[in-house]
Structure 1
């Protein structure tokens, strides 16, 4: 299989609310808009929220978790709180050396915000 492009599709019973959250509260830049949908830049990936794919499932999040790398987790926490984003756990250094904060989108989906410290092996591995 040759993958040319990929993105994460977030389903929601209220896609307009979810679009507003990712656009206005998280401040993700828009890759493109189309009638009923928005595709956001998310680092080297894309997140799409389309009103054409509404879900009536009681738990549309299942086990989906978004992992978003940032430059400064503490600054991101402040920005999130200022914008009314639910922060479930403040930034802290995990045993594996990454600084992680947990937030939540309006559908209850977990967003793990990660800062990779300068001395972490992920910054040194050039493969």
Structure 2
């Protein structure tokens, strides 16, 4: 494996260098950062550890630690333990407290996973303390599947803790089930006359008409299914717009496109755990989309949908 450093969004993923000792020792010695980790604080022999990280060979069995840099500063690290068969690996990650909740861990771990799977690894495992919900959510956002709970499995800092287990297969990573869940948004413009709007977008602005609800999609409807009269989709270049004919005052609707039904389910669990009011949980709609709906504080409707579960 070669090609370090790598620019990954806001961060640079690179090798450790001797200049990283002070920053590494600082965030690894933070009790909040180490709360759910196996090491104690302060970190002993930080200079020795960084020296070992810098000398390790990427792609060899055992642990390899990647440094994560942002704004010219070491902000964390991602570790990969490659099995002797070079087809399985385990991943772990740490971000300094002052740099958390900025997306650095997501970008860095995604970059590392790209490298690991490109090198021929078929499965990556991860685990975290069951109380560490931030790490669990990050793993699920990246496409990891929850695979179990080991109750009272680890004696950590004077107490027994539960471990959450996760796994990610190479075929899931390359199929688009991993990475960002939401890959596109199709604004739904509510209009007074969909025919007039289609004429404007198609004839005057040069948009292509993708489909109209009154066409073949209508066969999916049944008497008990609420439907939206006069809905159509227009597109040009990379922009798609939904046009929906609704009389009177109305709110805006957004269509958030997601790669897989599993990602819809993961977003549903994440948002429900955060206390979001889900108007309609995920379900396969008669027209074939796997979809959930929620409302923002102003009453705007967000429809999160993917192809149906296979």
Q: TM-score range by the shorter chain?
A: 0.3 to 0.5
Which structure's CA Rg is the greater one? 2
TM-score, structure 2 normalization = 0.19
Q: Which has the higher contact order (CA 8 A, sep 6+)?
A: 1
Higher helix content, 1 or 2? 2
TM-score, structure 1 normalization = 0.43
